[in-house]
Structure formats: C-alpha cells, structure tokens
Amino acid sequence: MLVGEIFKFYREKNGISQSNLSKEICCKTYISRFEGGKVSISPDILSKLTERLGIDLNKEMKALHHIEQRLKDWDLAIIMQNSIQIEEIKKELESIPFIKASKYAVYYHLLTARYYLHKKMLPETKSIIEYAEKNFQRISDFEKSLLLHIKGMFCISTYRTTTSEDFREAVKILKQINIEEYKNEEYYYHLALGYHYARGKVLAYTYAQKANDYFIKTRNYLQAINAQTLMLMQFESENDIDFMELVESYMNLIHNCENLGDNEKKRILLNNLGVEFFKRKDFEQAAHYFKKSLFMTDHTSFYYLRRFYNYIESCSEGQLLNIENLLEEVKKGIALAKKHNSPIHLTLFNLLLLNCKKNRSGYYDYLAKVAIPQFASTNNVFYYEQYGKKLYKYYMELGQYEEAIELIQFFSDSGNQRDIPIETNQVKAELE
C-alpha cells in the first residue's frame, strides 16, 4: 500500500473530506492525486497533513512493511499447528487498523478462513469463501491456490454430511492448485484425505506419502504422524501388508506420539489399532486397544461415545462379557448417546441391545425400518453398507427375494455406487 493509501484510509476512517484535509495546506485535487499514488508530496506538506490526521507516519509505514512477514508467519504457524503462536499473531494482525484496506487484504482474509478451519468454525469459513469468490476478482496465482486449498479443506471438513461425489469434488478443487506458485506441499495431505474419503486408496496412499515427506523435511512431526496414520488406513488385507508389520508401524507411531506429548493422536492410533484387530476377528486384542484409547479419553467428549461403542461392539462379538454385564454396558451407551444427542449412536446401541436380547426378528425389523433409512439419509456410507449387507443376507436366507430386490433398489436410489453393499468391519477408524 502506498503512503497515499494510508492517508486515504485514516481520512475516511476519521470522516474527513479531501477539502477539509487540504484546507490551508494544499489544493483538494493534489490530495486526490496523492491518495491515488499519482504524485509525490513534499516533506513539509506531508508533515502538516499527518499532524492534521493525527497519525505517526513512520509507525504506520513500519507496520505496513511488517504485515507481509507476519502473514507468512501466521500461515506457517497454522500449518505447524502451533496454537499459541497462531493466537498471538492473529491478535497482532487484528491490531493493525488498515490491514483490510492494504494490498495484503486478500491474503489476510484467506488466512482468517484457514484460522476458522483450524478452530473448526465451519459457518465462518464458508462465509469468507463466499465473500472471496464474490469480491476478490483480481488476485495472484498464490492467492488463487490458497483459496482453492481452503475450499478443498472445507469440503473435506463437512464429510459427515456429504457423499463420495462431494469428496470427488474436493479432489477436483485441490487438483487445480498450482504447486509451483503455491509452494505449500501441505496440500498433498488434504488431497490424500479427499481420495481417502472418495475411496481412492492408491492415490490416497501416494499423496499421503508425499505429504509425509514434506512434513518430515520441515520437521512438522505432528502432521507427519497424521500422514503416516492415513497411509496405514489404506491397507485392507494381508495382501497389502503383513499384519505384524502393520502392528509394528502402529506401535512406532504411538511411541512417537508419546515422545512428542500428543495424547490425542495416541488415542486415535490406539483406537485404529483396535480396528485392525477387529477386522481380523481378534476381538480380545481389539477390545484391549479400544479400552486403552477409551481410558485416555475425556468422558464428556463425543470421542468417548464413539470409542465406547467400538469397545462394547468388540466385547459383544467376542463374547468377552457375560450377558448381564454386556446389557448393563449397552444401556450405558444408550444413555451416553442421548446425552450427546447422537441419533446414529443411539441407533447403533439399540441394535446392540436387540442383539444381546437374542431378538432376531426385532433386530432385523429395526434395521429395515429405522437404522438403514437413517444411515442413508445422513449419508453415513460406512454404516449403511455394513448393515445393508446384513439385512440383504437375512432376506436371502428367508427367501424374501422381493424385499432383497427392494433393498438393492433403495441403495441405488440413495446414490450408492454398488448394487449390493460391501462387507465391512463393524467398528470405525479415526482421523483427526
């Protein structure tokens, strides 16, 4: 921003007209041309104008030259997830009154959107994205890529209410980024997330590996753990990786979390390791790791509810608790689901309750009338595929072929790409 633009900002902020500012100092036209950067101004006139505006020009110019570096520092702090530094720089930038009128206004607005994403403030993020697309017509290639990055991250952040098609849109957005201009290889991680949720496992692994290389190179070890966790989640069978090698990889990441003092990532990894044992029907080991994750989780958090379900499902499948204790734990889960106002988990625990009571007909009736329609209406692909497969098998077992065909049609109408849902494990892995 030119010196004249600083003058214009404070003149308009103070409600002073060009005529009143120039009175007895210079002509109004001179002020207009000076603010537009068309003419320079003598030190004597400059001194009189700054005095009339009541500003310290040296201080304002110093702040102006400081803005670009502090914006870059803020960007880096967000990438590194340095919460203390993020808040400190945000407060500092907010104290610069003309930042939104400077040539760095676009960069500042976009980083504010990234800040909102970091804080999981999605409505605020969406508002800035919409404002930017409407008002920022002439922006640099770097700013275009930053906006695309934020849009892609926003799409991924709303995954609980989106479909695979939406994730393909997120990938499409992120693929438009010009990495030569943007130079922020962190975006590879979000591209990997997009492919993961859109079920492109090979590309998810490829881009997660690229992201991991970048995070290691920049010593962003916490994010490297996220990238490595995502890589491990792409392995589906013994054909992809030896199971003991997979377990060792998880244990190494857990150890790294301990060294870095990141307990939340450790909780996620313990849960995901439990999922791997569950997939292989080793329910005792699965329950062991779910319980360890659960023990470290705040009892009042939603994560506790999710992990508690995984633990109880393992105990149920592995018959690790007697029926009385299992029923008691399932009822605790129902109470937790109500407390957290989570209809999905309330349904899951109700299914567990019916299963524990050996109420087979009631179980499948509830599945058909309540659970699957709910999972489909909320785009909860993971659960409606899993339980859709169960219901389909039940119909085929009873010779209810018409109902089986209707179920296939239901999945087709719900936008699922498969004719029959795939077989999946019953507990869910996590990402941050």
**Rounded to two decimals, what is the model's pTM?**
0.78
E strands of 239-376, at which residues?
none
Which of the four pLDDT bands, split at 50, 70 and 90, describes residue 414? low
Hey, what amino acid is at 388? G
Is 331 buried (19+), middle (13-18) or exposed (0-12) by CB count in 10 A? middle
For range 251-262, the mean pLDDT: 94
Q: Residue 422: what pLDDT?
A: 35
Q: Residue 237: what pLDDT?
A: 65
Q: Residue 168: what pLDDT?
A: 83
Angle between helices 43-53 and 3-13 (to 10 degrees): 30
pLDDT(423) > 50: no
Q: Residue 205: what pLDDT?
A: 95
Q: Residue 413: what pLDDT?
A: 61
For range 120-144, the mean pLDDT: 93
Extents of the domains making up the chain: 3-55
pLDDT(425) > 60: no
| Cα(127)–Cα(135) distance, integer angstroms | 12
Hey, what amino acid is at 92? E
| Residue in this structure with the two tokens 């290691």, named with its chain if needed | 216
| Cα(268)–Cα(310) distance, integer angstroms | 12
pLDDT(430) > 80: no
Beta carbons of 264 and 288 less than 8 angstroms apart: no
pLDDT(112) > 80: yes
The angle formed by the CA atoms of residues 78, 112 and 231, to the nearest 5 degrees, is 40
**CB-based contacts of 379: which residues, under 8 Å, 6+ apart?**
160, 161, 162, 163
Lowest-confidence pick of 249-258, 373-382, 410-419: 410-419
Q: Residue 1: what pLDDT?
A: 46
| Cα(111)–Cα(184) distance, integer angstroms | 13
Beta carbons of 419 and 392 less than 8 angstroms apart: no
**249 HSE (CA, 13 A, CB side):** 18
pLDDT(418) > 50: no
For range 13-30, the mean pLDDT: 80
Which of the four pLDDT bands, split at 50, 70 and 90, describes residue 159? low
Lowest-confidence pick of 284-298, 342-356, 396-410: 396-410
Q: Residue 241: what pLDDT?
A: 83
In degrees and rounded to multiples of 5, residue 93 shows phi and psi of -65, -35
Beta carbons of 182 and 149 less than 8 angstroms apart: yes
Give the residue with greater pLDDT, 17 vs 423.
17
Lowest-confidence pick of 47-56, 88-97, 141-150, 333-342: 47-56
Give the residue with greater pLDDT, 130 vs 383.
130
pLDDT(386) > 50: yes
pLDDT(42) > 90: no
The closest of 278, 240, 255, 213 to 424, measured between CA atoms, is 278
Q: Residue 238: what pLDDT?
A: 64
pLDDT more than 70, % of the chain: 93
For range 113-141, the mean pLDDT: 94
Q: Residue 426: what pLDDT?
A: 61
Which whole-number Å values give the CA distances from 351 to 13, 163, 316, 393, in the listed order? 62, 24, 12, 17
- How crowded is residue 2: how many other Cβ atoms within 10 Å of its Cβ? 15
| Residue in this structure with the two tokens 């790409």, named with its chain if needed | 417
Which range is most confident: 65-74, 117-126, 373-382? 117-126
pLDDT tens-digit readout, 170-226: 999 999 999 999 999 999 999 999 999 888 899 999 999 999 999 999 999 999 999
The closest of 90, 82, 429 to 267, measured between CA atoms, is 429
For range 84-95, the mean pLDDT: 94
Which of the four pLDDT bands, split at 50, 70 and 90, describes residue 95? confident
pLDDT more than 90, % of the chain: 61
- How crowded is residue 57: how many other Cβ atoms within 10 Å of its Cβ? 17
Q: Residue 165: what pLDDT?
A: 55
Beta carbons of 210 and 185 less than 8 angstroms apart: yes
The closest of 203, 211, 181, 115 to 154, measured between CA atoms, is 115
* 3-55 is classed CATH 1.10.260.40: yes
Q: Residue 2: what pLDDT?
A: 59
Q: What share of the chain is helix, strand, coil (3-state, %, to 5)?
A: 75, 0, 25
Beta carbons of 328 and 356 less than 8 angstroms apart: no
Which of the four pLDDT bands, split at 50, 70 and 90, describes residue 28? confident
Beta carbons of 303 and 272 less than 8 angstroms apart: no
Q: Residue 99: what pLDDT?
A: 84
| Cα(268)–Cα(274) distance, integer angstroms | 10
Which of the four pLDDT bands, split at 50, 70 and 90, describes residue 324? very high
